[in-house]
Structure 1
C-alpha cells in the first residue's frame, strides 16, 4: 500500500485589512511588515514594483546633480515620504526641501509645506499616479515645483512644472533632453547622461 505524497499547503499573504475610513499617514510608521517604499494615497496603501536600472540611474543622476548645486538653505533627499494630509503620504523619487526641516537623521517623513520640489521618475506601473494623481496632490499641497521624468529612446526627458499662484495648478515651463539647465527653484545644470 502506497501513501499519497503530501500536497503543499497553499497560503495567501496576510494583507493588512484597512480600517474604516482608510489608513492614516501615521499608520505607515506602525504597520508591521510593509514592503519598502509603501505609499499612502487617498487612505490606501500603494506597493511599488521593483525599480528598473533606468529608474535607478535616473534618480542617481538627478540626485547627484541637485546635491552639487543646491544652496545651503535647502537639502535633497531620495525616496522619502511627504505628509500632505492625514490620508496622503506619497513618496516622490526625489525632493528638495528646506534644510531647517531636517531632523537628527531618524525622520521617516517630511511635511509637504517644507518641500520646494518633488520629482517623479515614471515607471510603467506608475504612469497614471505620476502623471495625474500625484501632481494634483503636490499642487494642492502648495509644492512650488514639480518634475516628471519619462523615458524616451532609452534616455531621460524632464518635464518641468511650476505652481501658478492664481489657479493653484502646475503649468509647464519646459521639456529638457540631454541637459537640464534651470534658474528655479535655484540655479541647476545637470547633464542627463546615465551611467552604463
Structure 2
C-alpha cells in the first residue's frame, strides 16, 4: 500500500511558512495588502510585489540618526506641512517602501497609514548594513520613477552623518546629485534646511 503523505499542519502550507506569508494572488502582493497584515513584523515593505522584512538588530547610530533627522526637519519645515519617520509610501500597485524620514507639503492626518507618492516631496534613507543595497541602488530609482522630487541618502562616516542630496530631473525622470554635505547641511529645496551635522545627534538631546 502506498504511504499517504503527512497532512499539512493547520494554518500552514507545504513550505512550512505561516499562511499569512503567502501572497493572496498569483501576481504577488499589492500595496493595499500591507494594511491587512497584522502578523507581519513592524516596518514591512513591499518591493516589486514581494514583502521585505527588517529583522536585523537595530543599531544605535541608525536609530539616533533617523530620530535626529526627523526632529531637525520638523523644526524647520514650513507650517502646515508634514514630516514623518518610518511611514510607507505607495509608489504604484507593487511598491510600497518605507523611507526612514519623509517630507510632504500637506497637513498632518492622525489616521494616515501611508502616503501617496504624489504628496511626498522628499524621501530620506539612512543607510545601514542590512539596507545598504536597497538604499543605494533600489529605492532611489523607484522614488524617482514615482515622481518624488528630492531624495537624500545619509551615510555613516566615523559616526557623523554625511548627507548625499539628489533632485529629480524632469526631462530624464532620474535623480541628479546636488551635493555631498559633511560637517554642515545647507539646502534651499524642498525647503530651506540648515544643520550642523557634526553636532546633530548630541544637540537633539540624544548623546
The normalised TM-score by structure 2 is 0.84
Q: 2:18 aligns with which of 11, 14, 23?
A: 14
Considering fraction of residues, name the structure with more strand.
Answer: 1
Query: Given the alignment of the two structures, is residue 53 of structure 1 paired with residue 60 of structure 2, yes or no?
Result: yes
Q: 2:39 aligns with which of 15, 33, 36?
A: 33
Q: How far apart in 2 are the matches of 1:57 and 1:190?
A: 15
Query: SS where residue 118 of structure 1 aligns?
Result: strand
Q: How far apart in 1 are the matches of 2:169 and 2:51?
A: 30
Q: How far apart in 2 are the matches of 1:82 and 1:139?
A: 13
Q: Is the 8 A contact 1:113 1:142 kept in 2?
A: yes
Query: Given the alignment of the two structures, is residue 82 of structure 1 paired with residue 82 of structure 2, yes or no?
Result: no
Q: How far apart in 1 are the matches of 2:159 and 2:74?
A: 24
Q: How far apart in 2 are the matches of 1:70 and 1:137?
A: 25
Query: Given the alignment of the two structures, is residue 42 of structure 1 paired with residue 48 of structure 2, yes or no?
Result: yes
Query: In the TM superposition, what is the alpha-carbon distance from 1:13 to its structure 2 partner?
Result: 5.3
Q: Is the 8 A contact 1:93 1:121 kept in 2?
A: yes
Per the alignment, residue 101 of structure 2 pairs with 94
Given the superposition, is the C-alpha separation of residues 157 and 27 from structure 1 closer, same or farther in structure 2, using an over 3 Å criterion? same
Per the alignment, residue 153 of structure 1 pairs with 158
Query: Given the alignment of the two structures, is residue 175 of structure 1 paired with residue 151 of structure 2, yes or no?
Result: no
Q: Is the 8 A contact 1:131 1:148 kept in 2?
A: yes
Q: How far apart in 2 are the matches of 1:13 and 1:190?
A: 46
Deviates more, 1:127-136 or 1:43-52: 43-52
Q: How far apart in 2 are the matches of 1:53 and 1:119?
A: 18
Q: 1:70 aligns with which of 54, 57, 77?
A: 77
Q: Is the 8 A contact 1:79 1:91 kept in 2?
A: yes
Greater than 4 Å deviation, 4+ residue runs:
none
Per the alignment, residue 137 of structure 1 pairs with 142
Unpaired segments ≥5 residues, structure 1: 1-11
Query: In the TM superposition, what is the alpha-carbon distance from 1:154 to its structure 2 partner?
Result: 1.8
Aligned residues: 184
Query: In the TM superposition, what is the alpha-carbon distance from 1:35 to its structure 2 partner?
Result: 0.1
